[in-house]
Structures are given as C-alpha cells and as structure tokens.
Amino acid sequence: MDCIFCKIANKEIPADIVSEDENFVVFKDIHPKAPVHLLIIPKKHIGPLSALTEKDREAVAGMILKAKEIAEKIGVAKSGYRLVFNVGKDAGMEVDHLHLHLLAGKPLKFEF
C-alpha cells in the first residue's frame, strides 16, 4: 500500500522516531507546529478516524494511552499538552493512516 506512515512504520523511509513498541510508533512531525510535535501511529494500517469501526477500539485506546505515557516520559505531562485527531478536509487532514498529534512545549493557542 502506498502509505507514507506505513513506510515510516516499516522503516522504508526515515523518521525521527522517539518511541516504538510492538503496536505503535511515535515520531517527530516533519513540520512541527509547537516546540514538541509528535505523531503516534499504529504500526498496522488503520484508515482515518471517520472510517473507524468496533474492531479498532483497542488500537485507538492504545494510541491515547501511548500519548499519555510519552508525555510523561518527555516531561510535558505537568506543563500540559494537546492531543489532536484531524478528520477530513476542514481539519486539514493530509494522511489517511490514523495518527494522533501530541503538541506541547509552550502555551498552546486554540483559535480558528
């Protein structure tokens, strides 16, 4: 499948990986929007949030728990962080391999 995040998960293209386990890879966003901008992805291809089904429940819960674990590990849990799923065109979603943004490192604006 021609999916850029599958290629990152399979090490076919490089990425700045900060954490990896059996199920998830966490890497730095190539165009960071905050001092800390990480992406949490399942290794197995899962489509966008809009296409999730019951069988994805465990993977999605695992992504959120992984984000919490990483926030603690990199030392932003106390200062705070934001987790974002972009869904569809108006959210600017570019990649259709499910991914969770972890943003931190400064007071984050919330404006549109």
- Contact of 104 with 67, CB cutoff 8 Å: no
Number of C-beta neighbours around residue 98 at 10 A? 22
Q: How far is the CB of 64 from Zn ion (least distance, A)?
A: 19
Q: Which is nearer to ligand 5GP, 39 or 71 (CB)?
A: 39
Stretch 3-42 residues interacting with ligand 5GP (CB under 6 A): 4, 15, 27-31, 39
Question: 99 catalytic, yes or no?
Answer: yes
Between residues 9 and 15, which has the closer beta carbon with respect to ligand 5GP?
A: 15
